[in-house]
């Protein structure tokens, strides 16, 4: 089984790297990608995965993003100055630094990782809490209506 850069076994189905942004590269503008993107350099702009599944962003210790990030899976050991959104999974290494809010499906943090912002779980319950649209429990609603009918004057 493959190992990530902390020496842990990677999860099955982890995306291979399709695009590499090298250490000496600096991009000004948004980056949109499919598949796997590995960043050793710097991006000044948003980094966005164009697919909802099977896209992974990995940022090494030398990698820097000055802008928002949105991808299903993120492996971070560098810096992000902006909101970080990962609908599936975020793994934060010991050198990871986030200045912004972190929205995650599941999260894994190694000691030493730092977040200066809020951490918010994104799942069915979290979305329902934000939108105030909870699934309707029909038997409960019937019981409430019956109880309201008994107490009317």
87-124 confidence digits (pLDDT tens): 999 999 999 999 999 999 999 999 999 999 999 998 76
Euclidean distance between the first and final Cα of the chain, in Å? 70
Return the H-helix or E-strand segment holding 139: helix 138-150
pTM above 0.85, yes or no: no
Going by pLDDT thresholds of 50, 70 and 90, the confidence category of residue 141 is low
What's the mean pLDDT in 9-21? 69
What's the mean pLDDT in 59-63? 97
Q: For residue 142, is pLDDT > 90? A: no
**Residue 13, pLDDT score:** 44
Of how many residues is the chain composed?
Answer: 153
SS3 content of the chain, % helix, strand, coil (to 5): 15, 40, 45
């Amino acid at each position: 089984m493959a190992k990530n850069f902390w020496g842990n076994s990677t999860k099955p189905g982890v995306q291979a790297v399709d695009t590499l942004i090298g250490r000496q590269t600096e991009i000004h503008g948004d980056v949109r990608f499919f598949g796997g993107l590995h960043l050793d350099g710097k991006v000044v702009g948003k980094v966005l995965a164009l697919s909802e599944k099977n896209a992974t962003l990995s940022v090494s210790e030398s990698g820097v993003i000055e802008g928002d990030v949105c991808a299903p899976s993120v492996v971070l050991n560098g810096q992000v100055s902006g909101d970080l959104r990962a609908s599936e999974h975020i793994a934060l290494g010991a050198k990871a630094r986030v200045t912004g809010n972190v929205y995650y499906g599941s999260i894994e943090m190694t000691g030493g990782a730092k977040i200066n912002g809020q951490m918010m779980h994104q799942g069915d319950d979290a979305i329902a809490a934000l939108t105030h649209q909870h699934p309707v429990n029909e038997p409960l609603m019937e019981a409430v209506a019956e109880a309201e009918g008994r107490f009317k004057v």
